[in-house]
A and B are shown apart, each in its own frame.
Chain A
Amino acid sequence: GENVEQHPSTLSVQEGDSAVIKCTYSDSASNYFPWYKQELGKGPQLIIDIRSNVGEKKDQRIAVTLNKTAKHFSLHITETQPEDSAVYFCAAKRPLYGQNFVFGPGTRLSVLP
């Protein structure tokens, strides 16, 4: 089955700096990769996603890149702000299973003022 790894597990950056979180997946048939942000006491919230036919996608300060050959994808946050502090999860969707996701273990991002 699909396995998703995520690094680093914790990340601290100064406000205004960039943050990068990387994920790898094992099933080459996976075709959809969302990123979720989870704040304390809340459910995960989708922040950006990418499909396997696209190499890069950007939404304001957030971007995601996908390398299908290497089976890895990354989240890039620029000009970080204190409100970006949260736990971030990457996920991969297994084909033929609707929106049944396999999640990575998460990265705790701390943006220091």
Chain B
Amino acid sequence: EAGVAQSPRYKIIEKRQSVAFWCNPISGHATLYWYQQILGQGPKLLIQFQNNGVVDDSQLPKDRFSAERLKGVDSTLKIQPAKLEDSAVYLCASSTGWTDGYGYTFGSGTRLTVV
């Protein structure tokens, strides 16, 4: 089966600019996650969707980050305006639902550099 698709693979922007990332989950996966992975650290969850509803966004910096999952399939994550500390890899993952470990798959990520 096709994996989790993310684009772009790389993005370089200046601080205070805006940027958007796109994720297409595995077909049929109801749950979608966005993680932020700063260099040398483990991934940190930003937001979790169940279909097109938000389950957990407690760690999303809502003053500058936003995410949506229209129609319960694709998702976009936006940063506006970007700060230097937003430089990281943004990983999207999807899973079939609430069952532990089943089908939980990560994409290859988007590497963001803010200069």
Number of interface residues of A (CB under 8 A): 27
Interface residues of B (CB under 8 A from A): 4, 31, 33, 40-45, 48, 50, 55-56, 91, 93, 95, 97-98, 100-101, 104, 106-109
Q: In the complex, A93→B99 CA distance in Å?
A: 11
Q: Is A61 interfacial (CB 8 A cutoff)? A: no
Q: Is A46 interfacial (CB 8 A cutoff)? A: yes
CB < 8 Å neighbour of A98 from B42, B43, B55? B55
The A74-113 residues at the B interface (CB cut-off 8 A) are 89, 91, 93, 97-106
In the complex, the chain B residue whose C-beta lies closest to that of A1 is B58
- Chain A facing B: main interface SS: strand
With A41-B108, A43-B109, A46-B101 known to touch, is A98 a contact of B44 (CB < 8 Å)? no
Q: Which of A34, A51, A97 has the most CB of B within 10 A?
A: A97
- B66–chain A nearest beta-carbon distance, Å: 19
B44 x A99 contact (CB < 8 A) = no
- A24–chain B nearest beta-carbon distance, Å: 14
In the complex, the chain B residue whose C-beta lies closest to that of A101 is B45
Which residues in B have their C-beta under 8 angstroms from that of A44?
Answer: 43, 91, 106
Q: In the complex, A97→B108 CA distance in Å?
A: 24
